[in-house]
Amino acid sequence: MALPLPPGLTHAEVAFLAEMELVTVVPRQRLESIDLLGGKTPPLRPPHRTDLPLWLALLLKKQRRANILPPAWLHPASLADIIKHETKTDPHAFSPPPPAPARADPSRPGQARRQGEDDSSLLLLSAPFRPSCTADAPAGYLPYHWLEVAESLLAHAGDDVASALGASAGEVRGLLRDLVEVRAAKMRSSTAQLEGFGGGLMSLRGVGAVELAESRGFVLGVVDGVRKIGASAEAVRREEEEERGGEEGESDEEMGI
């Protein structure tokens, strides 16, 4: 019997992984570096900003030892921009993921270079290793773990979010709800692109981890259904192709002779 668990990660697992994201904190107390399995945390020296994993930042926040600086993309203006991009600018695709972090190139003034472009060992492109939720993350782009990080920050550090962004947590929450709805509707309608024969492709670029966890079962079901309906036509097409291939092979031989 097959494993009864559905494929993919559940919401709880995704949220757990999201706690590895780095966020920026402003410490209120000194704290020496902690030696953890994943490496040493930077020592905290108030009032210098430091990047910490989300779980540790939330822990310190609950103990009132630090304040969390929300990422720039959580600003209401940035969220409104993204909603506008999703609804008006490009109503058929998801808004793009953040670009790879760039750094000024000292040898070429005025030019920036993508981080890790010259040195492949530094290439950090996947979700938890890219500082996409820190204070210097670019505004207007949703990172992979956007919904999880935003929800945790609003739930546990709502006051920090409100004071740093100059907007109430309710306003930010409302914008997030709008964004979730817009993108869920897009996910539903994107299945319609599967109709074309042979061109059954859905672009999931820029889709967040929670959205994937939510829609995985449905999208896989649709793809599987379309595959089953097209299976007989596909078999016929393959046979024809093979026959044609066989003929061509014969003609090739004749040419050779």
Partner 1 sequence: MSYYDIDSILTDAEKIPCTFQVDIPDLGYLDNTPTQPLKAGTKVNLPLWLAEMLAIANTGDAEGKSFVTFDLPPALGNDVVQALKADPRAVPLRDQSAHFYGLATHMMELSEEQELAAALRKTFVTRASEVALHARKVGGVGHKGKADEGSNLGIGGAGEEFLRGLDEWERKLFRKAHDGAKSGKEWMEGVKKH
* Long-range pairs, 123-131, Cβ under 8 A, ≥24: 125/100, 127/17, 127/21, 127/209, 128/17, 128/18, 128/20, 128/21, 130/98, 130/100, 130/101, 131/22, 131/51, 131/101
Q: What are the C-alpha distances in Å from 1 to residues 4, 5, 6, 164?
A: 8, 11, 13, 53
Q: Is 57 in the site for partner 1 (CB under 8 A)?
A: no
CA distance 14 to 153: 16
| Number of neighbours of residue 226 by Cβ within 10 angstroms | 15
List 42, 43, 96, 225, residue binding partner 1 (CB under 8 A)? 225
| Binding mask of the shown chain, residues 200 to 219, with x at each position contacting partner 1 by CB under 8 A | ----------x--xxxxxx-
Beta bridge partners of 113: 103
Nearest approach, Cβ of residue 191 and partner 1 (Å): 5
Q: Is 236 in the site for partner 1 (CB under 8 A)?
A: yes
**Nearer Cβ to partner 1 (33/203):** 203
**Nearer Cβ to partner 1 (166/170):** 170
8 A C-beta contact, residue 4 and residue 44? no
Nearest approach, Cβ of residue 53 and partner 1 (Å): 15
Residue 208: closest CA among 169, 188, 179: 179
Q: Is 230 in the site for partner 1 (CB under 8 A)?
A: yes
**Nearer Cβ to partner 1 (19/101):** 19
CA distance 212 to 199: 22
Beta bridge partners of 26: 67
Nearest approach, Cβ of residue 46 and partner 1 (Å): 26
**Nearer Cβ to partner 1 (25/194):** 194
Q: Is 34 in the site for partner 1 (CB under 8 A)?
A: no
Q: Which stretch binds partner 1 (CB under 8 A): 6-14, 30-38, 91-99, 105-113?
A: 6-14
8 A C-beta contact, residue 132 and residue 21? yes
| Binding mask of the shown chain, residues 165 to 204, with x at each position contacting partner 1 by CB under 8 A | -------------------x--xxx-xx-xx-x-------
CA distance 180 to 23: 22
- Positions touching partner 1 (CB under 8 A) are 10-12, 15, 151-152, 155-156, 184, 187-189, 191-192, 194-195, 197, 210, 213-218, 220-222, 225-226, 228-233, 236
